[in-house]
């Protein structure tokens, strides 16, 4: 199952290929090896955005589930890193 992740400002956008037999998709977000978030999407939504993430390396994995709740297909974990806040300090002289 193909999964593509893109960095957002303080977030990650995940998009994946459709599995025709799937009734829902389970989206898992990991920080290192620790599972920190699990979301579910209906079968017609083939994307998810995780927002408000700190800097660091995260992994996303998708599971396509059938009507009986069994996993039909599973993606590999894809590593992504959100774009952090860029702070600019300026000094004004009056």
Domain that holds residue 7: 3-80
- Establish if 38 belongs to a structural domain: yes
**Residues 53-82: pLDDT tens digits?**
988 899 999 999 999 999 999 999 999 999
Cβ burial of 10 (10 Å; 0-12, 13-18, 19+) is middle
- Establish if 73 belongs to a structural domain: yes
Structural domains counted in the chain = 1
Query: How far apart are alpha carbons 90 and 87 in whole angstroms?
Result: 10
- Establish if 54 belongs to a structural domain: yes
Here the tokens at position 92 are: 């004004």
Angle (CA) 27-28-31 rounded to 5° is 150
- Establish if 35 belongs to a structural domain: yes
- Establish if 91 belongs to a structural domain: no
Q: What is the CATH number of the domain that holds 70?
A: 2.60.40.10
**Residues 6-64: pLDDT tens digits?**
999 889 999 999 999 999 999 999 999 999 999 999 999 999 999 999 888 999 999 99
H and E: helices and strands count for the chain: 0, 8
């Amino acid at each position: 199952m193909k999964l593509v992740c893109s960095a957002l400002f303080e977030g990650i956008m995940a998009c994946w290929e459709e599995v025709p037999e799937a009734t829902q998709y389970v989206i898992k977000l990991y920080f290192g090896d620790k599972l920190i978030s699990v979301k579910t999407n209906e079968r017609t939504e083939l994307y998810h955005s995780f927002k408000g993430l700190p800097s660091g390396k995260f992994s996303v994995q998708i599971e396509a589930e059938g009507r009986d709740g069994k996993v039909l297909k599973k993606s590999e974990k894809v590593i992504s890193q959100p774009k952090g806040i860029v702070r600019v300090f300026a000094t004004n002289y009056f």
